[in-house]
Structure formats: C-alpha cells, structure tokens
Structure 1
Amino acid sequence: MAILDDPGLFGRQWAARYDDPGNPDPGPAVDFLAPLAGDGPALELAIGTGRVALPLAARGVPVAGVEASPEMVDRMRAKPGGADLPVVVADMADVPVDGTYPLVYLVFNTLFNLTVPGRQEDCLRNVARVLRPGGRFVVEAFVPDEARFDQEEREVQVRDVTEEAVTVRLHRYDRVAQTFVRQTVTFTDGAVRLEPFGMRYQWPEQIDAMATAAGLELEARFATWRRDPFTADSTDHVSVYRKPS
C-alpha cells in the first residue's frame, strides 16, 4: 500500500492540530444539513473531531459517524457530547454501518481523500446502500482550478520560519490521474519531518456520473452552504444527491 492510500494517515498526522483556528465555521453547514436530516439519524463520513457532527447533534439530530483515524475520534470524545456519538473506526469508502439513514454527508473536500482508483465509486455505491428511499447524500468539495495547480506546482511556499525551524510546502500534480501530492517539510536542527498529503480530485460533473452509477440523482447544487447559486465561476460546491423513492 502506498503511504497516501492509508485511510488513517491524515488523522495520525493532523489530529493534534485539526481544531486550530482557521477551519471553516460549521454553522452554515449545520443550518443546511439539519432540515435534510429531519428526525435522523444522520451519518457523517470522515467525522473527524466532530467539527460539524457535534453542533448538528446539539440541534437534536442523532448523528453517527465513520472515521479511519482513532486519533481524530479520541479528540472528538474529549469534547462535550463527543462521547455520545456512535463512530465506527474504518475506511469511509466501505460505509460499514447497520441500518438506514435519511441523510449521509461528506464535507470539506474529504471525498477527494480517497486516492485509490475506484474507492470514490465504492463510497458512493455504499452510501446509496444505506440511504433510505428519498434520502439525501450531501457532498462539499472544491471545483478544480488547473491554473491554480500550475502556480502551486511552480512555487515553494514558506509556511513558517522561526529560530528553531523552517517549514515549507511543495505540490506535485498528475493531470491525467487527477491527483496531487502535497509535501510539508519541516527542517530543524538535526532533523527533517515530512507530512505528505494527497487527493484525487474530481469536477462536479464527474461526481454526478459516479452518483448516477450508484443509483442517485442530483437534486440541487449550490456554491456555498448558504445556498448561493452555483455558477461557472464558483470555486466550491455543495451538491445534494437523492435516492429515488
């Protein structure tokens, strides 16, 4: 298995810092998801440290999760209400849960963390399996911008410089495979730390095709959680797929 194919890698590397300032406000996502969940239960794939799941549960929606990283789950368990959410520690592409759900959701580009060919398709098929008839699958992701990719690939981004360490970030893109590897390198006195991260990105219409193959229908697409219209200039999308009744 290649290192980036390990579903628990992201959590092992980033769990301790995942809740640092800079992550998006979960409020708009919770406002969007709560009406779709109804009485629940809702299922979050890659639930992480509970950034969205915990405030959604605080609205009275029962929430369960799948998360590949025990480290992320431990962080969530330490938060108020975190011990009450059932979580399966497993690869989210397998959706290894019992029962059915009116809402399954996957936020913050996490679908693209499935880098092994075929695993994104597996994820959507398994989501369709656990959705109730009429249930929704919500995906939040960025719209790929190859011009930005070109710029990032040419740059060495200096992330931090102190008297003790220097941190830089580099990117490599494979346009044919639609993948990228980002390497964050920290140099200290006598040591070098590598923190690799990769994605297999998709354009919205490619996600639509995977959803259609899984038996889901595109119901709506927005540019933001606040339901701003999706246009050709949108840099992100929130897509709602419905399982036919």
Structure 2
Amino acid sequence: MMDGNAEADSTLIFDKETLDKVYEKVAPSIVKVLVKPFSTGFVVSSTEKHNMVAVCSMLLIERKEKIQVRYSDGDTAVVDHTEKVSNSGMTILYARKTGKARPAVQFGVLEDIICQKIVSLFPYKDGLMMFKGHIGLDDCTCEDSSGNIIPGQNVFSFTCPVGGSYSKDPDTDSDIKKRFMVLTIGAPVFNLDGEVLGMIDWFSRSYDLKFARKSSEFRDELNKPGRVNWQGGSRGAGQRL
C-alpha cells in the first residue's frame, strides 16, 4: 500500500532511453487508417502482395468509402479487402505493399505481476504520439490526473483522455474533445520490450484493454487457416464494412 508519495513508487518512473528504444522498434509498424475520423492500426503480418493491418472493428462500422492507410514514413496504400477476426473485435485490412518492408509487431504475454509498465503509440498530426501507463493485475497503485496515488486491483491506468464514442455534430465543444479521444481507441499497447499486450478499447466512459490476457491466442488465431469470415471479394460470404 502506498503512502501517497509518487516519488517513492518506482513503477511510476519511466527511463527515457528505454522509451526511445521502444519507440524506434515499434513506430514502423504503426499505421494511420485514413477514414473520418482517422483511426490507428498496426501491422501484424503480410502476404505476397499485402500488409495485414489490424484495426478496431467498431471504428469501421458502416464504412462505404474506399479505405487507405498511411505508414509512419508517409507512404500511403489502398486497402483491397478486409477480414473480421472471430471473437476479437478486430478487423484485418489488406493494404497493398508499397515496395518497402513493413515490420510486423511481436506479441507478448501479460504477466501476473504487481504492476507492468506499458506504452502506446498512435498517429497524431504528421507524426506519432506516445502515451505511457501501467497494468496492474494484483494489488497495485496508479496515479490519477491530479497526481494522487490510488491503490487498486486489476487496474489499467494510462496518461491519456478518457475513451469515448465519436459524435457527428461538428459544432459542439464536446465533439472536438471526442475527436481527440477516438484517436486512441484501437491503438496497440506495448510492454517495454516492444511486444503487443493488447489494444485500447473503451467501455462506458473508461478505458479497457482488449485481449490483454489473450494476446498469444489472438496471434495463434491470425495464423490459423480459415480463421476469419471474408468481407467482400469472392472467397466467401460476409457482410461488407
């Protein structure tokens, strides 16, 4: 149990050199999905002609326009088709290769420890923004926006705004805030070894971490033959996004 002194809790301290190494490792795998409002994706694998980009399915509901993605180096690519991964809330975009190798993320396993440091990256303006945070599966502590130390259990704390849905009314202040909030939904969460532990989701007015304890199962699902329902194209029946 903490005494309320943030400086006494080593789990709240992040080493800049470590953060820089994580950024350099994972940044090439982060993708900006060019829809309105844009969303975050990350490269999980590739085929001979396409990079496979994972995105949050809820952000692609009722999309009728042609989807494009932009890589961290500025290159853009057209998405030829999509797949919905069963029981994950994830959709795979098949983006045409642009001639450059796009590294796929590596998946890690969320350990049952007191507190684990994490980071997340998502596209912002012309670059990438990194947020840092913690996952606590047992007794743990986190720091709120006022700097107070809060004891908790099964906590996912993050230095970013509360997640929320997107409003189509462009004339309200709340909409402007929600435009920023939605950018973080679907962003991958990494441990300090640069391995994906999950993806930021939202529930009510708080963040959640999708497949946090099942990232290895998600990885295995991606590698399983016939793992998805095709959405469009001639390979099988499915509902278009």
TM-score (normalizing by structure 2): 0.22
Structure 1 or 2: more helix by fraction: 1
Higher RCO (CA-CA < 8 Å; seq separation 6+): 2
TM-score (normalizing by structure 1): 0.22
